[in-house]
Amino acid sequence: MPGHEAVRIYGDGEGWYIDGAAVFLFEEKPCRLEYFIECDTDWNTTFTTVDGFVGDDIVAIEIEVDGDVWYLNGEEVAAVEGCIDVDLNFSPVTNLLPIKRSGLGIGDKATVRAAWLRFPSFELEPLEQTYTRKSESVYNYQSSTGFEKDLTVDKFSVVHEYPDCWSREA
């Protein structure tokens, strides 16, 4: 999907915040999705919003996490109970969450179960993911869908290169 994304990641001692926007084309439709992800100090997702549009369709998503229970626009989603991370299907920024939290050494791997916000349906469903640290800046990512890529990250663990999908310009 051709497009651009801008994101700001910051903390305040009480938690971490990911504030961004993606603008791109999908099936010849213009898309603008603004997102805000709130995490606790251990990078566990506590709240997420996604607002914008996909063509003529308005997107207004609110995800709340209360302990192990996840809510999508006020409705409990039992399928993702116990997940720790939100995964935005339209952005690589959420790969940061399990990478930061896991603190993997080179050669180590971790498997997590994320609450995956699918694009373009915006349904919330579980997605098992495995991260294997291959070097100082490269992680192999595998999901239960069969998808696999080597992700290159910067010093803060933000994805710098997602081969054939996404590349950071600045």
Dist CA 54 CA 69 (whole Å): 28
In the three-class reduction of DSSP (H, G, I as helix; E, B as strand; rest coil), residue 24 is classed as: strand
pLDDT in tens, the chain (170 residues): 578 999 999 999 999 999 999 999 999 999 999 999 999 999 999 999 999 999 999 999 999 999 999 999 999 999 999 999 999 999 999 999 999 999 999 999 999 999 999 999 999 999 999 999 999 999 999 999 999 999 999 998 888 877 677 677 76
pLDDT attached to residue 1: 57
Dist CA 116 CA 124 (whole Å): 5
What is the Rg, in whole angstroms, of the alpha carbon atoms belonging to the chain? 15
The verdict on whether omega for the bond into residue 120 sits within 30 degrees of 0, i.e. cis, is yes
pLDDT attached to residue 117: 98
pLDDT attached to residue 163: 67
pLDDT attached to residue 169: 73
85 CB burial (10 A radius; 0-12, 13-18, 19+): buried
- Do residues 162 and 154 make contact, with C-beta atoms less than 8 angstroms apart? no
What separation in angstroms does the CA of 95 have from each of 99, 114, 128, 135? 7, 10, 12, 16
